[in-house]
Amino acid sequence: MSDKPKRQIRVGDTFIHQKAIDYVNQVLKSNRLSYGPFTKKFEEEFARLHDRKYGLFCNSGTSALEVAIHALKEKYSWSDGDEVLVPAVTFIATSNVVIQNHLKPVFVEVDPIYYEIDPEKIEERVTSRTRAIMPVHLFGQPCDMDPIMEIARKHNLKVVEDSCETMFVNYKGNPTGSWGDISCFSTYVAHLLVTGVGGLCLTNDNDLAVLIKSLYNHGRDGIYISIDDDDDKKGKALFNIVEKRFSFVHVGYSYRCTEMEGALGLAGLEERGNMLEKRLSNALFYTEKLQKYAQYIQLPSIRPETEHAFMMYPIIVHKESGFSREDLIFFLEENGIETRNAMPLLSQPVYRKIFGEIEDQYPVAKWITHNGFYIGCHQEMREKDLEYVVEKFDEFFVKLAK
Ligand SMILES: Cc1ncc(COP(=O)(O)O)c(C=O)c1O
């Protein structure tokens, strides 16, 4: 039997690779921290990998989402109080940004296998005020995008993909983030590609790209966003920029980040193959070893024709299992295995205050959020960590049988 590891087995872990150290050192030596060549290259490469023209890096996934909704609201003249469809299971930032934009999140039931927005439940929530859908690619897996896009087209809805938990993986041959008018990603600690803080908006729409970049930068005129924008300008063109350097054309935000995060992002891109491979093999290892407990716990499924980035490994305790989620997670935590509850949203104190007691309208979401949790399957886990986790599950179920 393995000893309890000295460190906790976390849902995410950080290891700064040599390439990241080299790139950050290059930034430090360059005497430049504001938007520059590392960030630009990271944006371009990240966008290319997700089949989008424009990538726009900012200081968090939440900032990216907030600005994405703001940009669409401004471009398409939505009114305060218009509605945006959001899955009933997600991290709270998805729906917070809707509220922060003075719009109304309308929750949609999720499916019981992949835990993502259920395309069959979307249309029942569409009203004359619905303006957009926000599919959330949860836990590392893209949503069932074909029917979602069909419904969006039918009702003339914009689509903002919340891909903060998923990157570099395909659904039916197309990468996550490549369907929406805008797609948003997070590079926060314990996510997939990590820059400490960070987020991206991707889009194919030039107008939206200009607007998003401006909104990140206090609403500044797009003519002068970066200190390079006047580099090769002369005469009238230069004077035009000089005049507009301090010209603000939108009510924007201060959501910039620095070349340090850009450098970490660029280095992370080079590690992505290894990261995805390890996560998948770790998740498959758990699934193989824990399958024998399928009558008690539901393990994650991979949607057909879909790749899974396994940002985490979600588990749901069946109602008739004879024990509660809390019994299992307390046992795991006591043994040094970190857990997180699976994305409770409608039961959050602040949402109960705003929306009232609406959980019963979403039985699948309620089942997931009251019985689900996740554990780590990240690339820094060693073989003996994985074996230890499985041993602890075995121990729990042996005790249960007694
Ligand atoms: C689904 C989802 N959306 C949005 C976010 C927000 O990202 P950030 O923490 O970078 O603001 C997260 C972060 O955990 C997330 O999981």
- Answer yes or no: are the C-beta atoms of 184 and 156 closer than 8 Å: no
Ligand 1 atom index nearest CA of 62: 11
pLDDT of residue 228: 85
CA of 311 to the centre of ligand 1 (A): 12
Predicted local confidence at residue 37, as pLDDT: 96
Percent of the chain, pLDDT > 90?
89
Instruction: Supply the pLDDT for residue 273.
Output: 96
> At residue 3, does pLDDT exceed 70?
no
| pTM for the full predicted model | 0.96
Give phi and psi for 188, each to the nearest 5.
Answer: -70, 160
Centre of ligand 1 from the C-alpha of residue 36, in Å: 25
Mean of pLDDT values over 342-356: 97
The best mutation among 84, 91, 183, 257 to test binding of ligand 1, ranked by most ligand atoms within 8 Å of the C-beta, falls on 91
Q: Cα of 195 to ligand 1 centre, how many Å?
A: 13
Average pLDDT, rounded, for the chain: 95
Pocket probe for ligand 1: among 67, 188, 200, 343, the residue whose CB has the most ligand atoms within 8 Å is 188
Classify 383 in phi/psi space as left (phi over 0), alpha (psi -120 to 50) or beta: alpha
Of the candidates 135, 140, 64, which has an alpha carbon nearest to the alpha carbon of residue 97?
64
Q: Is the pLDDT of residue 326 over 90?
A: yes
**What are the chain's domains?**
18-266 (3.40.640.10), 272-401 (3.90.1150.10)
Our CA angle for 33, 39, 41, nearest 5°, is 140
Provide Rg for the chain, Cα atoms: 22
Residue 5 has pLDDT above 80, yes or no: no
Residue 222 CA, ligand 1 centroid: distance in Å = 27
pLDDT score for 167 = 98
pLDDT digits (tens, 9 = 90+) for 208-267: 999 999 999 999 998 878 888 888 888 988 888 888 888 999 999 999 999 999 999 999
The residue among 185 and 321 whose pLDDT is bigger is: 185
Retrieve residue 154's tokens. 């039918």
313-317: strand order across its sheet? 297-298, 313-317, 372-375, 340-341
pLDDT of residue 238: 87
Helix (H) / strand (E) element for 202: namely strand 199-203
Quick one: CA dihedral 368, 370, 371, 373, positive or negative? positive
Q: Report how far residue 50's alpha carbon sits from residue 142's, in angstroms, rounded to the nearest whole number.
A: 12
Of residues 119, 159, 163, the one with CA closest to residue 140: 163
The set of protein residues with a Cβ atom below 6 angstroms from ligand 1 is: 60-62, 90-91, 93-94, 136, 162, 164-165, 186, 188, 199
